[in-house]
Amino acid sequence: MWYGLGLDTGGTYTDAVLMDISSGKIVGKAKALTTRDDLSVGIDNAVKGLRDFNGGNVAVVSLSSTLATNSIVEGKGCRVGLVTVGRDFDGSIPVDTCFRISGGHDIRGMEACMLDEEAARASLALMKDKIDGIAVTSYMSVRNPDHENRVKKIATEILDVPVVCGHELSSSLGFNERTVTSLINSRLIPIIKELIESVKEVMAENGIGAPLMIVRGDGSIMSETVAVERPVETILSGPAASLIGAKNLTGIGDAVVMDMGGTTTDIGILRNGYPRLEKEGAVIGGKRTHVLAAEISTSGIGGDSRIVVDGGRFYLSPMRVIPLCIASDKWPQIKKKMREVSEARSKRASEGRSSSNTVQDMEFFTMVRASGHVPLTDADRRFMELISSEPHSLNEAAAKLGVHPFDLSISKMEEFGIIQRIGITPTDILHAEGSYVQHDAEASVCGIGYAADRMRLSPCEFIALAKERIVYKLSEELLRKLFFEETRELNFDRLAKDLMDKAISGKEGLDFGCSVRLNKPIIGIGAPVAAYFPQVAEKFGAKLLLPEHSEVGNAVGAITGSIMETLDVVIRPKVGGNPDDPPCTAFSMLGKMDFKSASEALDCLLKEGGENVTERAKKAGADYTDVKMDVNERRYVVGMGTGTGDVLLEIEVHITAVGKPRQFHMASDAAISEGSVGR
């Protein structure tokens, strides 16, 4: 039997699934906590959780990861240089070294200014030993990439670092967005290299010698070689994998997919079997890129979201904390501390009146990493040293250090990610209820009992209240996503919010109520979905699908994705010639090409474009590929009556090659051969 191994590193958990390639059946699955400081540890724990399997029988491994997205948001990466040709970059993201040289083209792909190769050589020479990667972007390179290609050739002669051109990553107009994409790509190269090396070490330790594939942000997969060249394409990899996993687990091609993990809930739409893509390019860290990725709505509600009880009020915070049940597994002494808090009179310490600044008695702190260059007070440094060995509550730590709780910069240290809070979460709600028990439920029961007492509720009443608030929040995020799909509007006025509240709560107004009905099913992905999603679906009269293996749906998506390479071409007619089939110019990453007629251009592109995407798909790891060409003509109708005709304005051509990793075919052929021998 030959296996495919799917891996997903989420914000809280790392999932692994083992799939029989010949049948597509899931034969093993495991979850482990994600280790953010070293993702390979969590991956190794997940793989070892699969237990009885022969690593030598794994034909292919596929990984989806949040690493690229998190690195962009957190500003991590290597030193990057930038050479712009014919236009200044707006500086919307930092760059270590930047030079502008003369050159560039116009909208027709004609040279607007000669390329200053002498200036290019001088600028690149100044970057030597100061950068780890370089991006080259030229004005209108999507109409003619010649100047970018020439500067790249010079850069490879002078510098021993990876070089990426804007036209290699995007065929869309928009110089600044293309430059942002190129810079992010260059900055991510060493990070993705390190991840791949770490995963391959884990594979070697487990006897797995198979090739490694990486999930793109559009749900397709690529080889590790291509991933190192174009790591920016792995942003939103995890959420995209959940959409592909949902489709493969249910066989449903049109649905709303809600993936509730530990850190966030991601909502996406499947249309005709594929994720709906953000055609304008994904927005990461507030910056628009030209990366084609699934259109995902992400909200800070997950199994590890912080629950706050302050002044008898209940809050659900997007802050991610370590659940009490998980923390107690790692630090058994926490349970003793919790009992002491429950028995003692409250000495609640708070930094402010907002829920985000409140520190609860039943919360503890642990050190995540060294403070590095973060400026801390002497009391903060002593606090860090104290919690490095075991978690402490704020009151407990202040008493041991002989300082007032307000003297400690808790919010600042959390913001810089050097400490993490342990507290009550939706995961603890389910553990205390007994509906989902994977960790120390006693710790959850203790924490829920204390919080309930603070609100003058019984534990059962508190659990019911918490689940009601969680379901409301999930329902609200679902409606926001669906409203955006219909209107492309993110901001809701008072009327829209009132209608949304009535639809979710079911409450009647003075004269009217409101309801919303979904016309497609909801597919739930994630471990805790059975506890919340049935109530969400019921509110909107939607069919809910909770497929088997939904708790590892992202990993299923990682191993069931296909390799896909695309080529976008714009064909513009020239003046003169036959108006029905005029001479044309084609613009694409292949370069600027002139043709005697539009029909000749399409015939040539079908051949050369098909060869290009097929070659790239094979480089990405595919064996057999299907090539499809979509053609969209834009024409303008002129004249009236007998003189009516139309004029060709533009032709957009989209060429796609799709295939499975060659190891899938090899494994399937081997399985058939073994079956024949057996007979």
Query: Do 476 and 624 sit in the same domain of this protein?
Result: no
Domain match, 540 and 574 both: no
Answer whether 516's CB lies under 8 Å from 540's CB: yes
Residue 678 has pLDDT above 50, yes or no: no
Which of 407, 434, 463 delimits the end of a domain? 463
Q: Please report the pLDDT score of residue 350 as a whole number.
A: 43
- Cα–Cα distance measured from residue 617 to residue 605, given in angstroms and rounded to the nearest whole number: 17
| 315 & 455 share domain | yes
Mean pLDDT in residue range 632-640: 72
Range of the domain at 440: 305-463
**Do residues 582 and 648 both lie within one domain?**
yes
Region 191-214: what's the mean pLDDT?
91
**Residue 124, token pair as written in the block:** 């690149």
Residues 483, 370, single domain; the answer is no
Q: If pLDDT is split at 50, 70 and 90, which confidence band does 328 have?
A: very high
Total structural domains within the chain? 3
The DSSP 8-state label assigned to residue 258 in this structure reads E
Q: Is there a domain that residue 442 lies in?
A: yes
Helix (H) or strand (E) segment spanning residue 179: helix 175-205
Name the more confident of 602 and 635: 602
Say whether both 332 and 430 belong to one domain: yes
What angle in degrees, to the nearest 10, is found between the helix axes of 459-487 and 441-454? 90
Closest C-alpha among 162, 166, 254, 163 to residue 543: 254
* 326 has a pLDDT exceeding 90: yes
**Phi, psi of 365, deg, nearest 5:** -130, 140
Residue 530 falls within a domain, yes or no?
yes
**337 and 436 assigned to the same domain:** yes
Which of 208-222, 237-251, 573-587 has the least mean pLDDT? 573-587
Lowest model confidence (mean pLDDT) among 271-280, 398-407, 458-467, 543-552 = 271-280
pLDDT band at 674 (very low <50, low <70, confident <90, very high): low
Q: Are residues 642 and 530 in the same domain?
A: no
Helix (H, G, I), strand (E, B) or coil at 72: helix
The answer to whether residue 473 sits within a structural domain is yes
Mean per-residue pLDDT, 132-149: 92
Q: Any alpha helices (H) in 416-493, and if so which ranges?
A: 426-433, 441-454, 459-487
Residue 527 has φ and ψ, to the nearest 5°, of -65, -45
Kindly report which listed range (340-354, 477-491, 535-549, 630-644) carries the lowest average pLDDT score.
340-354
The answer to whether residue 102 is domain-embedded is no
**What tens digit of pLDDT does each residue of 68-87 get?**
777 776 667 788 999 999 99
- Alpha carbon separation from 521 to 284, 474, 534, 544, 562 (Å, rounded): 29, 16, 12, 6, 24
Sequence-ordered list of residues with C-beta below 8 angstroms from that of 133, at least 6 positions apart, any chain: 78, 79, 80, 81, 161, 162, 163, 164, 186, 187, 189, 190
Same domain for 441 and 578? no
For residue 73, what pLDDT is reported? 66
Read off the tokens for 474. 């999930």
Last residue of a domain, one of 420, 445, 463: 463
Mean pLDDT confidence for 639-652:
67
The verdict on residue 414 lying in a domain is yes
pLDDT exceeds 90 at position 529 = no
**Dihedral over alpha carbons 412, 418, 421, 425 (to 10 degrees):** 110
Residue 317 covered by a domain: yes
- CA distances (Å), origin 197, targets 54, 58, 201, 234, 665: 21, 18, 6, 16, 26
Last residue of a domain, one of 463, 484, 504: 463
Q: Compute the average pLDDT of residues 571-580.
A: 79
Q: What pLDDT, on a 0 to 100 scale, did the predictor assign at position 640?
A: 52
Write out pLDDT tens, residues 345-355. 544 444 444 45
Q: Give the phi and the psi of residue 540 in degrees, each rounded to 5.
A: -115, 15
Enclosing H/E stretch for 200: helix 175-205
How high does pLDDT run on average in the chain? 87
The answer, yes or no, to whether residue 637 has pLDDT greater than 60, is: yes
Asked if 130 contacts 69 with a C-beta cutoff of 8 angstroms, the reply is: no
For residue 236, what pLDDT is reported? Answer: 86
Whether 542 and 629 share a structural domain: no
pLDDT of 679 over the 80 cut: no
Q: What is the pTM of this model?
A: 0.83
Quickly tell me which residue has 């482990």 as its tokens: 32
Are residue 451 and residue 483 in the same domain, yes or no?
Answer: no
Predicted pLDDT at 638? 62
* pLDDT for residue 103: 95
Residues 338, 320, single domain; the answer is yes
pLDDT of residue 661: 85
Residue 106 lies in a domain: no
Q: Which of 109-123, 562-576, 658-672 has the lowest mean pLDDT?
A: 658-672
Q: What is the DSSP letter of 140?
A: T
Q: Is 20 left (phi over 0), alpha (psi -120 to 50) or beta?
A: beta
Q: What is the pLDDT of residue 355?
A: 52
Q: Highest mean pLDDT range out of 225-234, 289-298, 516-525?
A: 516-525
Look at residue 277 in the predicted model and tell me its pLDDT: 81
Torsion angle (degrees, nearest 10) of CA 193, 194, 195, 197: 90
Query: Residue 229 domain-assigned?
Result: no
Tens of pLDDT, residue by residue over 157-170, are 999 899 999 988 88
Beta-bridge partner residues of 26: 19
Question: At a CB cut-off of 8 Å and minimum separation 6, what does 516 contact?
Answer: 479, 482, 503, 540
